[in-house]
Structure 1
């Protein structure tokens, strides 16, 4: 018998998918770990970064001060769509009893996202817990990138904000993403940091493998709609916790691929077009002061 103690199984496995994100991924990974994440023990979760075939395998990360230590794994058989890497990591790498998916590794987490995700699951065992998404910059990046917003501008914006020593600064330099534009108080289209119990994932399934296009097309919208509209769904929206998208020439946020292309793939899989989901919402607060500018959006 081994004399080494068995490592305790983490409650939550955070799975972040990256592809050619040498600039963006270090910020995202920093934001997923302690000490950036507040009010949470690093023993309660693990961070898995799955590299989905980057031209240069992702290595540029000094994580010696991060807890939990992020585990960087390379997808054995990378595909243009991230859905395969996310499903593979959830099945073969993650040890948690709950899974958090972050399909886009360019999205910085708010500093209490992990703590409140854990709190939501402890209060509601079968919950699907989700966050809203923001774009860094003066407007959604499909627009701002046509008006001079780019990586250099964004780097300067982030540095001048005081981030990461001032985590709340990201709220001041961002706007709701288009898929979250209905605000906290209404159904949205997708979340870029959502979590669920593993038993629910086993029952309802992971990302649909029919989405094979680069970036995954509408895969993230489809899985979100599938879960929030499941029978007797308990959907918990984290008030105040968000993700903040860094510009990086992504398939959707760059505007390089039009919705009609995504729609065609969706129709080829389901023989119908995508319909924005309608669902009931449970809220977990508090609504922190830094979110004030977002709180009135979507109110009648």
Structure 2
């Protein structure tokens, strides 16, 4: 058996034949830079896609394993945990939304940041491809053809940091890196600690997992000795796939005949599971990274830039 990798990356996909190949390309060398040979493994979990994910759609690389979960429902939580159970790395990364492309230094920066403390929870900002968050841009004519043209216009994947030129900060990350976000699109932490805190709580069974990401973020930081480290200069970039919270209207769109929004349902589910309303963390993050593109200062420190 080959030596265990430094990092296992669990990526969840559902009906993402267009998006997943680009995501995987962005998570593997040579696009990902600064990684020693054999440093990572990628575990793609197909969470019951309408058409099972074909392995030949993905990069022909031995470091990519594809698993299919048939009983995950409309939430990614079980799929994450199934993938995590297969992970061999000392550290684990989770990308709940497999439509998110990475910047080229994301994995090496996350590993270096996690080396600073064995309990570190290393998180990223999330961006949306397009001129605005996709909840808004899709109502203004943004579609997959426009997105493909934007990517072609910056010559992607030649210089992945140019993704900052065609992206907008996601709603959860509007305050940048100087305050704790409510969630993260991609994180790295010690695999044993991830398993010890229970992984993703599979009781979050609503569409898209509800506030499961928020909940994992909270539980990872319950230990006050566990530092929150936010990466600067690296992030993830959401491709349009009309997901639960990124389609027109987003989390505020009505989804029941009674007029309940996704936010109403997600808040009620969190309250039922945790016995309290969700409250945003006040933890002050440590910062780790570099200015990888001229737009980094205004994107990562918007309160300062304004």
- TM-score, normalisation: structure 1: 0.92
Q: Which residue of 1 aligns with 2:59?
A: 63
Equivalent positions of 1:19-58 (< 5 A) are: 19-58=14-53
CA distance in 2, matches of 1:203, 1:289: 37
Say if 2:160 is the partner of 1:167: yes
CA distance in 2, matches of 1:229, 1:288: 31
SS at match of 1:236: strand
CA distance in 1, matches of 2:293, 2:24: 25
CA distance in 2, matches of 1:206, 1:284: 25
Q: Is the 8 A contact 2:5 2:90 kept in 1?
A: yes
Say if 2:281 is the partner of 1:285: no
Tell me by how many angstroms 1:260 deviates: 1.5
Tell me by how many angstroms 1:111 deviates: 0.5
What are structure 2's unaligned runs of at least 5 residues? Answer: 256-261
Q: Is the 8 A contact 1:63 1:69 kept in 2?
A: no
SS at match of 1:184: coil
Q: How many residue pairs end up in the alignment?
A: 292
Which stretch of structure 1 is more off in the superposition, 160-169 or 23-32?
160-169
Say if 2:133 is the partner of 1:137: no
Equivalent positions of 1:1-300 (< 5 A) are: 6-59=1-54, 60-64=56-60, 66=61, 69-91=63-85, 93-254=86-247, 255=250, 256=253, 258-290=262-294, 291-299=296-304
Tell me by how many angstroms 1:76 deviates: 4.8
CA distance in 2, matches of 1:295, 1:181: 9
CA distance in 2, matches of 1:206, 1:177: 24
CA distance in 1, matches of 2:41, 2:210: 27
Tell me by how many angstroms 1:293 deviates: 2.9
Q: Is the 8 A contact 2:218 2:281 kept in 1?
A: yes
Q: Which residue of 2 aligns with 1:3?
A: none
CA distance in 2, matches of 1:271, 1:25: 36
SS at match of 1:145: helix
Tell me by how many angstroms 1:271 deviates: 2.8
Which stretch of structure 1 is more off in the superposition, 17-26 or 54-63?
54-63
Q: 1:226 to 1:298 in 2, by over 3 A?
A: farther
Q: Is the 8 A contact 1:107 1:246 kept in 2?
A: yes
SS at match of 2:97: coil
CA distance in 2, matches of 1:31, 1:227: 26
CA distance in 2, matches of 1:42, 1:149: 39
Q: Deviations over 1:75-105 (max 9, x none)?
A: 25332210001011111x1111111010000
Q: Which runs of 4+ in 1 moved over 3 A?
A: none
CA distance in 2, matches of 1:202, 1:63: 28
What are structure 1's unaligned runs of at least 5 residues? Answer: 1-5
CA distance in 2, matches of 1:202, 1:217: 21
SS at match of 2:303: coil
- TM-score, normalisation: structure 2: 0.91
The alignment yields a C-alpha RMSD, in angstroms, of 1.6
